[in-house]
Amino acid sequence: MSDVTRRTLLATLGLAVPALAYAAEEPSPKRIWTDRDPHELLRLRHFPDVELITHHGKKVRLYSDLIKGKKVVINMMYTRCQGICSPVTANLSRVQKILGRHVGREVVFYSFSLKPDEDSPAALKEFAKRFHAGRGWTFLTASTPEDMETVRRSLGFIYSKPEEDADKSRHVGMLRMGDEAAVRWATCPARANPKHIARAIGEEFGFGFRAGTRVI
């Protein structure tokens, strides 16, 4: 299992760690984490309300508009990537086709650009069109690379080794699935069989899909 897989499992995000345990790590009376709602604690630690821009040119906030109360599937990409960005996006397109009407209702997809200095909303819109992204799948960029770096690190798309972490092409090999309201988060390989990914999403979020759906 890779560092990324290990570091991004449910427990490593701290989502299964009660506030009391975190308080024990930070005993200072200036930070009384036990008084905070678990959702608020999670938001503070992992969902900074950074302003982002959709591929339709709409400004949104990471937590308030994209994460809060939603069931989400998240990946990282950039449009000029010569590595696995295109294969991963194509795979997600197949997953979207299998899940059908569930995307945009029970679950939403988010693809964050790792290179907002290159990826304008127009570039992302063209990329989304190329891979037949439908309703419920949003591609996002940021005003500055620093804002997107904050998002990337907060969501746990990181490597422990600095030289690996600096290579943006290595940050797109997994998907993060989360149900913010239920405080449930998990990961899966982004290039796994699309039917297996769809099944994992359906099981994680409590809905099914037609197992016989033909994927092309």
Domain ranges of the chain: 3-10+49-205
| pTM exceeding the 0.85 threshold for the entire prediction | no
The tens digit of pLDDT for each residue in 86-98 reads: 999 999 999 999 9
Q: 3-state DSSP call for residue 134?
A: coil
Distance CA 63, CA 194 (A): 27
Distance CA 53, CA 180 (A): 21
User: Residues near 47 by Cβ (< 8 Å), separated by ≥ 6?
Assistant: 62, 63, 67, 154
200 vs 216, which has greater pLDDT? Answer: 200
158 vs 129, which has greater pLDDT? Answer: 129
CA distances from 87 to 10, 55, 115, 136 (A): 25, 20, 18, 20
Q: What is the mean pLDDT of residues 125-149?
A: 97
Distance CA 185, CA 180 (A): 8
* pLDDT recorded at residue 209: 60
Comparing 26-40, 93-107, 180-194, the range with the smallest average pLDDT is 26-40
The tens digit of pLDDT for each residue in 36-49 reads: 776 777 777 788 99
CATH architecture of 3-10+49-205: 3-Layer(aba) Sandwich (3.40)
* pLDDT recorded at residue 11: 39
Q: Which pLDDT band, with edges at 50, 70 and 90, does 137 fall under?
A: very high
Q: What is the mean pLDDT of residues 197-212?
A: 81
